[in-house]
């Protein structure tokens, strides 16, 4: 047997073994996660059924309706302001969440990474506890803090800063506070991983070459932990954009984000094609964000 043939036979055997071992997982995921997404894709190109659901014919109407609306009387096309307001809210809340969690997360991750080695895993553990704690519990906990009779208002009232409670709950601010609170650990963990790999001797080199603390941060630390920053931002931005529980509980019924708007289409609005199109649109945005992440991390990987 020639070596090429032996090699090819080996590769065939390994390929078969690899796929065979992965098959149960793939079947499970196809049935319980990935497969149904295709159905949603198809639904987004169907027409609205009479009593909910979908019906033929195929149509691009649902995708059209994401951004635009037709006047029922004269058929003129205009921007769907209500939809745009919801998208805008989703985007600005997600961006603001990403920014705030980064501003809080970088110092926190740095703090953990510069603890003595024996303590580090404990501090890290303290970050992972809220991360793994039930989302509802955390949302409930922050709700207890910001509601009118909650911790925050009570404290401010008794300090005399305000003379009547600030209405935070059921506003966009409540949603922002909630997403920030809920997703902060998702920012800290990848940042920590990047800082942990950072060679602290580079700091000595930086100071040795007359850099100030600010320049060291900006010129040495931030460029080198960039993969962690990108990962953290993506990890916070994506779930924020698709958030459902937090805006539902903290934002109240009116301050919907995309997630709640999608649910609405499958519930009271009974517009499945629009809900399906919105879901697919959300997925496209998320995939685009992930692609950016893959590109950046691949480039960083080559630099190493």
Q: How far is the CB of 68 from other proteins (least distance, A)?
A: 22
91 lies in the binding site for other proteins (CB under 8 A): no
Which parts of 51-80 interact with other proteins (CB under 8 A)? Answer: none
Q: How far is the CB of 77 from other proteins (least distance, A)?
A: 27
Site for other proteins (CB under 8 A): which residue of 190, 228, 232, 239?
239
Length of the chain: 304
Q: How far is the CB of 206 from other proteins (least distance, A)?
A: 8
164 lies in the binding site for other proteins (CB under 8 A): no
Site for other proteins (CB under 8 A): which residue of 46, 62, 93, 184?
184
Q: Which is nearer to other proteins, 172 or 258 (CB)?
A: 258
Q: Which is nearer to other proteins, 11 or 84 (CB)?
A: 11
Site for other proteins (CB under 8 A): which residue of 76, 78, 134, 164?
134
Q: CA-based diameter of the chain, in Å?
A: 89
Q: Is 21 exposed, middle or buried (0-12, 13-18, 19+ CB in 10 A)?
A: exposed
Q: Is 228 exposed, middle or buried (0-12, 13-18, 19+ CB in 10 A)?
A: buried
196 lies in the binding site for other proteins (CB under 8 A): no
Which parts of 108-127 interact with other proteins (CB under 8 A)? Answer: 108, 110-112, 114, 121, 125-127
Q: Spell out the alpha helix ranges (H) of 30-69.
A: 35-43, 61-67
> How many whole angstroms separate alpha carbon 298 and alpha carbon 292?
10
Which parts of 25-44 interact with other proteins (CB under 8 A)? Answer: 25-26, 28-37, 39-40, 43
Torsion sign over Cα 228, 230, 233, 234: negative
**Contact at 8 Å (CB) between 168 and 152?**
yes
3-state secondary structure of 1: coil
Site for other proteins (CB under 8 A): which residue of 207, 224, 270, 300?
207
Q: How far is the CB of 58 from other proteins (least distance, A)?
A: 17
Q: Is 221 exposed, middle or buried (0-12, 13-18, 19+ CB in 10 A)?
A: buried
105 lies in the binding site for other proteins (CB under 8 A): yes
Site for other proteins (CB under 8 A): which residue of 89, 138, 176, 231?
138
- The stretch among 9-17, 61-69, 78-86, 156-164 that binds other proteins (CB under 8 A) is 9-17
Q: Which is nearer to other proteins, 47 or 70 (CB)?
A: 47
Q: Which is nearer to other proteins, 78 or 134 (CB)?
A: 134
291 lies in the binding site for other proteins (CB under 8 A): no
Residue 218 CA: distances (Å) to CA of 108, 211, 213, 214, 227: 17, 10, 9, 6, 15
What φ, ψ does residue 71 adopt, rounded to 5°? -65, 130
């Amino acid at each position: 047997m020639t070596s090429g043939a032996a090699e090819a036979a080996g590769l065939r055997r390994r390929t078969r073994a690899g796929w065979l071992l992965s098959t149960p997982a793939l079947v499970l995921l196809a049935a319980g996660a990935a497969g149904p997404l295709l159905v949603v894709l198809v639904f987004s190109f169907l027409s609205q059924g009479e009593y909910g659901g979908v019906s033929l014919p195929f149509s691009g109407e649902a995708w059209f309706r994401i951004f635009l609306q037709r006047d029922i009387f004269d058929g003129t096309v205009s921007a769907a302001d209500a939809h745009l307001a919801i998208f805008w809210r989703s985007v600005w809340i997600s961006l603001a969440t990403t920014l705030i969690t980064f501003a809080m997360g970088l110092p926190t991750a740095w703090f953990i990474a510069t603890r003595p080695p024996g303590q580090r895993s404990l501090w890290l553990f303290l970050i992972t506890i809220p991360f793994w704690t039930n989302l509802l519990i955390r949302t409930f906990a922050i709700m207890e803090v910001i509601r009118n009779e909650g911790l925050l208002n009570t404290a401010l009232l008794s300090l005399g800063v305000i003379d009547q409670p600030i209405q935070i709950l059921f506003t966009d601010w409540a949603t922002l506070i909630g997403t920030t609170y809920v997703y902060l650990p998702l920012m800290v963990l990848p940042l920590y991983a990047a800082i942990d790999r950072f060679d602290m001797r580079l700091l000595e080199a930086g100071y040795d070459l007359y850099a100030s603390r600010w320049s060291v941060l900006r010129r040495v630390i931030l460029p080198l932990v960039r993969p962690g920053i990108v990962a953290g931002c993506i990890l916070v931005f994506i779930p924020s954009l698709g958030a459902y529980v937090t805006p539902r509980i903290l934002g109240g019924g009116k301050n919907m984000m995309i997630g709640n708007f999608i649910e609405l289409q499958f519930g009271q609005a009974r517009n499945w094609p629009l809900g399906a199109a919105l879901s697919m649109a959300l997925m496209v945005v998320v995939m685009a964000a992930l692609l950016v992440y893959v590109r950046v991390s691949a480039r960083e990987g080559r630099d190493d």
